[in-house]
Amino acid sequence: MGPTGRWFSNVSTAEAVRVLRSLLLLLLLALAALAAAALWWQSVLDTPGKQSAVVELRVVSGDSLRSALTRLEAAEVWRQPRLIEAWLRLTYPDFILRTGRYQIAPGASPREVILQLAEGRVVLETLTVIEGTRFADFRRALESHPEVRVTLRGLSDALVMARLGSELHPEGQFFPDTYRFAAGTTDLELLRLAHQRMQRLLAELWSNRAPDLPFGSPLEALILASIVEKESALLSERARVAGVFVSRLRLDMRLQSDPTVIYGIGPSYDGNIRRRDLVTDTPYNTYTRKGLPPTPIALPGESALRAVMQPLVTGELFFVATGDPDGSHRFSKTYAEHRLAVAQYLKALRAARLAAP
């Protein structure tokens, strides 16, 4: 007989019952205490915070969860930050404190705030990269944005591309769009995102391009798309503009695109293109050189890329602005028609100047 058996043999049945009742009572009291604690904790979680206005919590790289919770305690969002931390880690075992700006609503309860932190619902910042701008403009926008963490300042374009794993010239390699991101995102992360988007879109459109185009690689298509982007603001005209350049390339004609000349002039361009600029040879002067320039001249958008992959080829070889406010062009198949269109444009330009105050 074991020790427990011997103990029961030495006590009366009544004593054994009293002991069991005592143990049961202790168990019930413990359960009641746990239930009361759980109810108290639920009331803590669901009690509205005392903050009467939006509380902004800014989390940067290296911030600990405890420091963030303590700052929210100071803003009267809650008390017991260490209990909150323990409960959060137990409830969300994979929790990672995401960097960015959190805006805590007035009166938000601890449970609501914890869910916001767990889901990483930060305020999304915006950065707009306009179609047709240059890579240098993109870099300046990143460096001047108050919520972008700048890590590339002072690096050459070649070093920036090396950080992205590319040896290409950066112009045209990034998709222009409005990007939404958490505060504290680095300039390199945003450049990588824009670079990957451009590569995916370019590959997709290239795989569905029209047959027999006069260029043999996605990079050449990107170069021509950047020219179309700078030449035409009207979406309805872009396939037609692309068709003009495609026809010129097929006939081995010079593209004679002013935006390429301007790109070749570089920072010294003062807003006016002169005859001497058209005859001064640079790698980007499509008046003095046949074929495409060596790199894109801007960041083309999706419509320009689609226009180049599916051009509207009508036999037209020339176009010139109409002078109308909508930015439209006149298209011509012969040089004689083009000269007449240029004369009409110059006449409209003179009339507009005379009418200006």
Query: Tokens 């003095």 sit at which residue?
Result: 288
Domain membership flag for residue 103 = yes
Q: Which residues contact 204 (CB under 8 A, 6 or more apart)?
A: none
Domain membership flag for residue 39 = no
Domain membership flag for residue 35 = no
Same-domain pairing of 268 and 191: no
Domain membership flag for residue 5 = no
pLDDT at 88: 85
- How many domains in the chain? 3
pLDDT at 3: 54
Question: Among 203, 222, 256, where does a domain finish?
Answer: 203
Among 166, 157, 163, CA closest to 134? 157
Alpha helices in the chain (DSSP H): 3-10, 13-46, 65-74, 81-91, 110-118, 135-144, 157-163, 187-207, 218-231, 238-250, 258-265, 275-279, 302-309, 335-355
255-259 long-range CB contacts below 8 Å, 24 or more apart? 255/227, 255/286, 255/291, 255/292, 256/286, 256/287, 257/227, 257/230, 257/231, 257/286, 259/227, 259/230, 259/231, 259/297, 259/298
Q: Do residues 295 and 282 lie in contact, with contact meaning Cβ atoms separated by under 8 Å?
A: no
Question: Among 170, 203, 236, where does a domain finish?
Answer: 203
What pLDDT, in 10s, does the model give residues 57-74? 999 888 899 999 899 888
**Within its chain, how far is the Cα of 225 from the centroid?**
21
**Within its chain, how far is the Cα of 345 from the centroid?**
39
Domain membership flag for residue 37 = no
Same-domain pairing of 214 and 264: yes
Average of per-residue pLDDT across 142-167 = 96
Q: Do residues 318 and 256 lie in contact, with contact meaning Cβ atoms separated by under 8 Å?
A: no
Q: Has residue 2 got a pLDDT over 80?
A: no
Same-domain pairing of 189 and 252: no
Domain membership flag for residue 234 = yes
pLDDT at 317: 97
Find the range with the poorest average confidence among 142-151, 331-340, 343-352: 343-352
Same-domain pairing of 264 and 292: yes
Query: Tokens 């020219």 sit at which residue?
Result: 227
- 45, two tokens: 């979680």
Q: Which residues contact 79 (CB under 8 A, 6 or more apart)?
A: 44, 73
Same-domain pairing of 227 and 284: yes
Q: Helix (H, G, I), strand (E, B), or coil: what is residue 288?
A: coil
pLDDT at 354: 81
Q: How confident is the model at residue 351 (pLDDT cuts 50, 70, 90)?
A: confident
Distances, alpha carbon 116 to alpha carbons 94, 108, 162, in Å: 15, 10, 37
Q: Helix (H, G, I), strand (E, B), or coil: what is residue 18?
A: helix
What pLDDT, in 10s, does the model give residues 257-313? 999 999 999 999 998 999 999 999 999 999 999 999 999 999 999 999 999 999 999
What pLDDT, in 10s, does the model give residues 85-132? 888 888 888 888 899 999 999 988 888 888 898 899 999 999 999 999
Query: Tokens 């439209």 sit at which residue?
Result: 328
Distance (Å, whole) CA 305 – CA 224: 8
Q: Which domain holds residue 270?
A: 210-355
Same-domain pairing of 228 and 329: yes
Same-domain pairing of 224 and 327: yes
Same-domain pairing of 252 and 305: yes
Question: Among 118, 151, 173, where does a domain finish?
Answer: 118
Same-domain pairing of 69 and 183: no
Find the range with the poorest average confidence among 19-28, 156-165, 201-210, 316-325: 19-28
Distance (Å, whole) CA 98 – CA 111: 18
pLDDT at 84: 84
Q: How confident is the model at residue 234 (pLDDT cuts 50, 70, 90)?
A: very high
